[in-house]
Every structure is written in C-alpha cells, then in structure tokens.
Structure 1
Amino acid sequence: MIRFPGVFVAIVTPFTPELEVDYKRLSEHADWLIDQGVDGLVAAGSVGEYASLLTEERKKVVETVIGTAKGRVPVVVGTAAPSTGQAVGWARHAKQAGAAGIMALPPINYKPTENEVIKYYEALSDAGMPIIAYNNPHDYKTDLTPPLLKKLSSIPNFVAVKEFSGDLRRMHDIMRETDLEVLVGVDDLAMEGALIGATGWIAGLTNALPKESADMFRLARAGRLAEAKSIYTYLLPLFHYDAGPRLVHAIKYSLELAGHPVGPTRPPRLPLEEEELKAIREAYDYAVHRPVKA
C-alpha cells in the first residue's frame, strides 16, 4: 500500500523579527503550499527547526499546520527527541492532533546499538501511527542500512523510509530488499529517485518553488524524462543546498526572494554571509527564469 505518494513539503517555521513563532504566517504559508499543488506537508521536522522550539511552541506548530490543512492534504509530523519517551509523546500528540503519520529519526543523541534502534521503533509503533523512518547518516550517528530496514519492516506501522544518504543506489537496494515505500529525502536526487520508483519526496527547497517541484516530480514518476529534466535542470543548483548545513537558511532566503518571507532562522543558526546570499540568489534566479519552450 502506498500511503505517502507525491511531494510532501517539510514546512519551515516562520519567526517574527523578535524570534517568536509567527503562527499566522505559518498558516498562510501552509495554505499557499496546498494551493500550489503539493501533496502533503511535514511539520516539526529539521527544516521546521524543531530543536529550537519550546514544547508548547512545537505543539502549536503541529496543530496549526494540521488545522490549516483541514484534510485537504495529509500532514506528517516529525518526532525527533532525545529520549524514546519524548519521541513517543510527540507521536501520540501527532495522532491526537489528526496527523496522517510520523517522520521518525532514529535515536539522535548517541550511537545506539542495532537492538536499541529496533526497540525504539517498536515503541513508536505502539503509538498507532504509520511511521516514515528518516535515514540521515550525515547529521546523526545511525545509518538505517537496507539490511537494518529489512528487519525494521517487520514492525507494525513501519511503512516507509525517507532516504537522505545521498546515494541513489540505496534506493535501489531498499526497494529490492524490503516492501517499504521509498521517499526521496534529498532534493538534488528528486528526479532520479522518481525515475527509479520512489513513490514520494519529502522536500525542502520546495517551500519556495512548490508548483515547479510538484510538476517535475509528477512528470518523472510518469516516465516523461525530457519534460521533467527541462524543469529539474534549472532547479538543481538551488536544490543542492538541501544537502548542506545551511539548508534552512537557504530555504528561508529563497522564500524571501519569492515574495513569501517567513522571517529569520532561530539561533544557533545565524544570518547568512553576503557571499552566501549572492550564491543562493543566483541559484534562485536561475530556477525561476528558466526558458519556456513554445
């Protein structure tokens, strides 16, 4: 069963100049993304700066996105937290708030044993929500390899993986060795992932370019390579920022360029340097001013 098809935007959390959460702007941004044709939203993920949110802020962010969606698209909720108990608490809150599923990193504060990873996801499964495992071995200590995912796939509710290793071969291996849904996790492999069978894409820079991104992914899923590539070629320089540490900064600056400002990043993320702003601006301009063939 395919539960999370298409383009799910990992939505940013807007902040005011005083670094307070701007819930009104969050609702407006979620509404705009839905109107632009995305297939779903992911709240309180890494792009949403979950780690900088206080408990009540994080709850309200999740509830705001789900309330704004009003069932028009499914909303997935990130559950990353330092302990199993906290992560399960976020899963239960997501269920109560009306989420369609959870996106779950493995334990994040140290390198767990394989058995600890399995027990962690079993505990999350008990919350009764479909689980999208988030494999990000660049930023966290655990690598959810295809053999490990095969073991995890026997856990009830463990249905999908967001694959962020950056290695396209991983997607092939996961699809061969498991029955899990494979969701592209890094923007600059979105077209390639769709072409080889990934059913969905949890996207970052799509916050700023939702329609173009959704169009490209659907074309690639349909095997219409030339048409997909005619869009992807121009999006790619900007998409490369999804794989770097300045991802959230790049997304928020791109939204400013798009005329949809969402405020600054919260510390410890600091403002971009002028050289970085220039490079992102050039990549954004290249993406939006691509030639249109008659």
Structure 2
Amino acid sequence: MSISWQGVFPAVTTKFKDDHSLDIAEMKTHFTRQIDAGVDGIITTGSLGEAGTLILEEKVEVARTAVEVSRGRVPVLATVVEANTARSVEFVKKAEAAGVDGFMILPAVPYVSDARETLTHFKAIAAAASKPIMIYINPVAYRVDVDLDMLAELANDPKFVAIKESSDDVRRVTRTINRFGDRYRIFCGVDNLALEALFMGADGWVAGLVDAFPEETVAIYKLFRAGRFDEALKIYRWFIPLLELDVSTKLVQNIKLAEAMAGIGNERVRPPRLPLAGEERDRVVRIIEQALKTRPTLPKL
C-alpha cells in the first residue's frame, strides 16, 4: 500500500511467552489495539527495543504478523538493524517477501561508522529494497550522525522519503526543512519532544508510550492538526511524565510496565533485560499510577 508519511507510527513492543519465545497471539492483540485507536502506521522491531535479542527469522515473523493484522489498513515498516550490511540486505529481502510496506533503517550497530561507510550501508540497503525508506537519525544512542550534507546525497535516491529525527535537538527540524523543503517527511522520534517538533513543522511522530496510551497519543496529534492547540497541549502536559519514561536505557521495561498497568499488555521481556525491580520499579509505578489517576477525558475529534 502507499504510505502517506504523516501521523502517529507506534514503535510496537515485541511480545514474549513465559519461556521467552515469541507470543504471536499477544502481538496480534497489541497491533490490533493500536490500529483501532487510530494510529497511522506500525513500525516493528525497533532498534532501541528488543530487536537485538531476536534472530533474523524472528524479526521477519514479527513483521509478517503486523502485516496480517493490518490487512492494508495502515502501512507496516520493518526496522533494519543488523551488525553488517549483508545481513541487512538479507533481512530487507525477507521482510519484503513477508509483505511490509517500507523500512526504517539506521547505521549498522555497534560499529561507529564514518560518513562514507554510513552512506554506503544505506545505499546498499536501498538497492536491495523496492519499498520506501525512513532514515533513523539518532547520534545520541548510536554515535553516528546523518547530517544535512549526507541527507543531500541520499536525496538523489527517491526511495529515501522520510526521516526519524531523534537527535534530541528540535532545531534540526527547522534546519532540515530550510535545506530540503518538503523533500523529506520528518517524524519526531523523541517522545517528550513530539509536540515541540510538530510545531516546528514535523509531519509525524514515531512514538513509544503510545503502546500503553494509544488514544491519548493519537488525540494529541489530531488536535494539533486541527489547530486545537490548547487542547493538544493540555493532554501533552499530562503525558510528559510518561513520555519521559521513553528517554531511558530501560525504555522497554518502562513501556511494558505501563502497558501492563494500563491493562493492554504485560511486562515480559527477553533476557538480558529483566522486568524492573526494587526502588527503580517503585518510581516508575508511581509515575504511571499518577497518570492513570489523572487520566484526561479526551475531547471529540
């Protein structure tokens, strides 16, 4: 299906059974819940999530599950995060065969590639793909940047259509638009900068806490697009303590705990991750409990 490249795209969590195998049934429930809440796309096996604990075939299975659930209602993007270019190309081919609509790609990890190496990696993936691509820019996490000059070179290939901007510098939205106009669609990839990025001209939001609070996330975006800024801001201010749980090394555990407490998921993670414990868990529980206690009544959209 064609992709509009705007709106809320959840980076969905991967579900596991008690034995740490994939829980396909639970993922179908989770993906359906997101789509029913009005999200505009699904992104599987996010790179800061649990993709690193999955073998290639499992990543393909998760993507295939999302495609089956979507049934063309929303586009499905598969995240390409591998340690080398050859395996990235292999995944792209298998994910396309599984029916995905596009890809979100980032530099190979954990190696810190220079600009020439990063561009070569991206171009090799694009050459193997027939679907459009979102470029994930996150120098904070991966220590590899994709600057404006690199984006200018990638702009020569029409497969590169969107950017997930996660540099933690909202000013880059303006700089990218000033340089490229509407050549790239820009998505904010930092939960607690999302509304700020939308005000600066971003087209969408690759979201994390949407996994636990899909209706609130969608409401913020739709209210903003409708020009109902005060209403969007009110919900966003309520949401901020939760959104800040996404900006953490343990974002997966935080989000899955929020899912469980919101009644739409569970806490199971695949080792080496473990569920939160002790004071760390107590602190996150208090944040989520307060949010649930003060959860806003959403306006009609």
**TM-score range with shorter-chain normalisation?**
over 0.9
Match of 2:238 in 1: 234
The answer on 1:151 being equivalent to 2:140 is no
DSSP 3-state at the match of 2:93: helix
Match of 1:72 in 2: 73
The answer on 1:19 being equivalent to 2:20 is yes
Residue-by-residue CA offset, 1:191-211 (whole Å, 9 max, x unaligned): 111122111111111000001
Distance 1:88 1:135 in 2: 19
Number of matched pairs: 294
CA contact (8 A) 1:252 1:263 kept: yes
DSSP 3-state at the match of 1:138: helix
Distance 2:130 2:296 in 1: 47
- Write out aligned runs for 1:187-206 (5 A): 187-206=191-210
Match of 2:106 in 1: 105
Match of 1:246 in 2: 250
Residue-by-residue CA offset, 1:176-200 (whole Å, 9 max, x unaligned): 1122111010100111111221111
- Root-mean-square deviation (Å): 1.8
Q: 1:267 Cα shift?
A: 1.4
DSSP 3-state at the match of 2:205: strand
Distance 2:175 2:290 in 1: 34
**Alpha-carbon distance change, 142 to 47 in structure 1, aligned in 2, over 3 angstroms:** closer
CA contact (8 A) 1:162 1:183 kept: yes
Match of 1:219 in 2: 223
Q: 1:291 Cα shift?
A: 4.9
The answer on 1:135 being equivalent to 2:137 is yes
CA contact (8 A) 1:23 1:64 kept: yes
Aligned with 2:178 (options 172, 176, 179): 176
Distance 1:181 1:122 in 2: 19
Q: 1:247 Cα shift?
A: 0.6
Of stretches 270-279 and 253-262 in structure 1, the one that deviates more from structure 2 is 270-279
**Alpha-carbon distance change, 263 to 293 in structure 1, aligned in 2, over 3 angstroms:** closer
Match of 1:30 in 2: 31
Letter in 2 for 1:217: Y
Task: Give the gaps of 5 or more residues in structure 2.
Answer: none
CA contact (8 A) 2:267 2:275 kept: no
DSSP 3-state at the match of 1:201: strand
Letter in 1 for 2:164: K
**Alpha-carbon distance change, 2 to 58 in structure 1, aligned in 2, over 3 angstroms:** closer
Distance 2:298 2:143 in 1: 45
Task: Give the gaps of 5 or more residues in structure 1.
Answer: none
Letter in 2 for 1:8: F
CA contact (8 A) 2:104 2:133 kept: yes
Match of 1:210 in 2: 214
CA contact (8 A) 1:91 1:124 kept: yes
**Alpha-carbon distance change, 147 to 4 in structure 1, aligned in 2, over 3 angstroms:** same
- Write out aligned runs for 1:111-122 (5 A): 111-122=112-123
Calculate percent identity across the aligned residue pairs: 36
Match of 2:57 in 1: 56
Q: How does the TM-score come out when normalised to structure 2?
A: 0.92
Distance 1:293 1:256 in 2: 21
Letter in 1 for 2:247: A
